[in-house]
């Protein structure tokens, strides 16, 4: 393997809490040295001046959707991995809502066999096992069988409407020692809503989803966690009140972690209206997003107060991780009226540069805070050892240039789908190299 010496690179390592300018020597797949100045190195070493570039551990996505198997016209596992690598993600956990779903060992074996045939050096894919048979929320899947396999944990990725079933699931899974991820959403309260309920939804003329659709379901989940004692990860937190409930639950010692999706930190419901006043001036591209079906998400984008509360919760550690929830759809599926559009947008290639410029360069987050909730935080939530930048460990690293400008177009995206509100826009920031050994 080649030897590389990166000089004068900004090294971010959330595990050690380090943010410094240093030299780093990588050889034979391992990090050999991280020092202020490396003066002695083998003669065949490739030396690179990396001033202005950022080196950090590879990013981890706690949950995303795959088109394959069943919806390969949206995305294949190979294109997903290519998109993840282009965006700096070295680990991606895939939700089980494929066709067939990952609710038994045969479905899991099919996926593992397929990724095993792909070339090395790609992001590592992990798979969530389904909580319920067919991901239909009616009866338990073969949890014992799946727990003995390589699933990273259990999650349907959809809301579960039966509290009695959730209780049985938590009680059954507790001795299995696997992670559980639940999305709090009361479908009866959400109804046919398409955006967050409030003044903006009225002006938009779109059916609203009340915040209580999330918070009432979350309160019930937290009560069941308190009763069962099973560790649970709360997916897709999107309201200010949910932040309060999770903060209180953690203060009481409940074994819960939580994540927010990246777009809920950058945007709010005002982006859909195209009125910068509605968005509180939080995004300069608001007018370009008006009624964009790619902003049709589950949960819906929150109000400005929700967005601000989520940002603060990430900084405070109440929310442990940023999830991408990458959800590819075809052009035809998304080229419909807003309320008729299937929810979801891609994000693996876009999250890091847009979060960097939207939160770090604006002073909302420090660089280390952002890297923590995109790398170490998600890994810990998955029960994994986070990647780190330290001598003697395998190189699981990315090199990020925050200044490279590029246009988000179909041909510039590695993902097979291009359902994103930033399509056609010029953005800054790109991962220029990835190491995965």
Specify which residues 126 forms β-bridges with: 93
Give the list of residues 6+ apart from residue 307 with CB closer than 8 angstroms, or none: 264, 265, 267, 268, 280, 282, 301
| H/E run at residue 23 | strand 18-27
3-state helix, strand, coil in the chain (%, to 5): 35, 25, 45
Burial status of residue 324 (CB atoms within 10 A of its CB: 0-12, 13-18, 19 or more): buried
Cα–Cα distance measured from residue 137 to residue 139, given in angstroms and rounded to the nearest whole number: 6
Cα–Cα distance measured from residue 187 to residue 255, given in angstroms and rounded to the nearest whole number: 25
Residue positions counted in the chain = 437
Q: In this structure, are residues 314 and 333 in contact, taking their beta carbons and an 8 Å threshold?
A: no
Give the list of residues 6+ apart from residue 332 with CB closer than 8 angstroms, or none: none
- Choice among 97, 103, 320, 325 that is catalytic: 325
Quick check: is 325 catalytic?
yes
Active site residues: 325
């Amino acid at each position: 393997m080649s030897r590389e010496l990166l000089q004068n690179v900004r090294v971010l390592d959330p595990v050690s809490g380090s943010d410094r300018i240093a030299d780093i020597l990588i050889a034979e797949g391992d990090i050999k040295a991280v020092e202020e100045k490396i003066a002695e190195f083998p003669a065949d070493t490739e030396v690179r001046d990396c001033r202005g570039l950022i080196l950090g551990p590879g990013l981890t996505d706690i949950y995303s959707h795959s088109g394959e198997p069943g919806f390969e016209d949206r995305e294949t596992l190979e294109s997903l991995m290519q998109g993840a690598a282009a965006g700096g993600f070295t680990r991606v956990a895939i939700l089980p809502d494929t066709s067939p779903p990952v609710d038994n060992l045969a479905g899991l074996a099919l996926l593992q066999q397929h990724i095993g045939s792909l070339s090395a050096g790609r992001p590592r894919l992990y798979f969530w096992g389904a909580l319920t048979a067919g991901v239909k929320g009616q009866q338990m899947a073969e949890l014992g069988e799946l727990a003995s396999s390589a699933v990273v944990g259990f999650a349907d990725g959809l809301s579960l409407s039966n509290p009695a079933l959730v209780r049985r699931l938590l009680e059954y899974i507790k001795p299995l020692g696997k992670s559980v991820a639940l999305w709090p959403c009361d479908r009866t309260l959400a109804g046919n809503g398409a955006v967050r309920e409030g003044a903006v939804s009225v002006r938009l003329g779109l059916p609203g989803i009340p915040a209580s659709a999330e918070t009432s379901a979350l309160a019930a989940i937290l009560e069941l966690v308190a009763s069962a004692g099973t560790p649970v990860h709360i997916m897709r937190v999107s309201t200010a009140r949910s932040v309060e409930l999770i903060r209180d639950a953690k203060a009481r010692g409940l074994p819960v972690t939580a994540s927010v999706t990246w777009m809920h930190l950058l945007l709010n419901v005002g982006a859909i209206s195209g009125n910068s006043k509605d968005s509180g001036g939080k995004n300069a591209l608001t007018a370009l997003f008006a009624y964009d079906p790619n902003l049709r998400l589950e949960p819906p984008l929150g109000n400005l107060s929700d967005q601000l509360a989520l940002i603060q919760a990430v900084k405070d550690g109440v929310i442990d991780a940023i999830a991408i929830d990458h959800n590819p759809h075809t052009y035809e599926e998304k080229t419909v009226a807003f309320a008729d559009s299937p929810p979801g947008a891609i994000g693996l290639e876009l999250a890091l540069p847009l979060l960097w410029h939207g939160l770090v360069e604006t002073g909302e987050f420090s660089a280390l805070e952002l890297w923590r909730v995109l790398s170490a935080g998600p890994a810990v939530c998955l029960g994994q050892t986070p990647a780190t930048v330290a001598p003697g460990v395998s190189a699981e690293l990315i090199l990020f240039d925050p200044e490279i400008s590029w246009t988000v177009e179909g041909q510039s995206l590695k993902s097979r789908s291009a359902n994103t509100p930033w399509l056609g826009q010029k953005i800054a920031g790109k991962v220029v190299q990835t190491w995965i050994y």
